Amino acid sequence: MRNLKIILIILCITLFFAKTLNSKIIIRQDKDGKVVITNENTTFVSKHNKRSKAYSSNYVPSYIYSRIKHFAKKYGVKEKLILAIARAESGYNRFAKSNKGAIGIMQLMPETASQYGVYNLYNVDENISAGIKHLRYLYNRYNKNIVLTLAAYNAGETAVEKYSGVPPYRETRNYIKRIFRFMNKPLSGYNFASSSSKSKLYKYRTKEGRVVITDRYPSKIKKSQISIIKNY
């Protein structure tokens, strides 16, 4: 009875502000039986239900879905791939923020976002657009290899360069597997172990003239000044 009173009080307050702000309020019950009050129309993307079990219990805000569809078409990237990435990255939550500082639906790092002229990382259009453009850039850089593209999106280009393939990070490998699972697509026998069997040693010269040899890719040094001296 007490819980009912609390819900009614919250509902009254919500409806008052909704009327004041001229917003549309939606009241629904989620799959766990909890009452959800929101101003966002959250709908199930039914078109994926028949084609992929991965989306059978996944809800996508209709506006976010429409923007993903729009920008995927605009930049020539498969809509199904972007939906899977957005689901894995943020669960379609525009306010998501990781402990590493990645923000928004496509979980962009501020440094990456700035490369694509993003002003507000929490803006749905800016976030999705920049995320897809960055994905397209990685896809072209890695010669249309989707596995390396996803590895770079998750772990960064430096890590992919260092290991000449998918880094031996559990998080990154599970991330790639999760994306393929969401798309209901096999990994085509890709052997992660083979990608980390070799690494590289990099050689470069500092401004002071000191020669440095390291197994970590020197991302702050110009590529023209870096040479690979050994595979091991």
**Out of 40, 89, 111, 208, which one is annotated catalytic?**
89
For residue 28, the model assigns a pLDDT of: 46
Cα–Cα distance for residue pair 81/65, rounded to 1 Å: 12
Q: Which residue did the predictor score with more confidence, 62 or 210?
A: 62
Regarding whether 98 and 19 lie in a shared domain, the answer is no
Q: Where residue 124 sits, what CATH number does that domain have? A: 1.10.530.10
Regarding whether 127 and 209 lie in a shared domain, the answer is no
Mean pLDDT over 48-69 rounds to 65
Pair 202, 219: CB distance under 8 Å = no
pTM for this structure? 0.61
Average pLDDT in the chain: 77
**89 is an active site residue:** yes
Regarding whether 149 and 73 lie in a shared domain, the answer is yes
Q: How many domains does the chain have?
A: 3
Indicate the pLDDT class of residue 4, thresholds 50, 70 and 90: low
Regarding whether 96 and 109 lie in a shared domain, the answer is yes
For residue 51, the model assigns a pLDDT of: 33
Cα–Cα distance for residue pair 228/190, rounded to 1 Å: 26
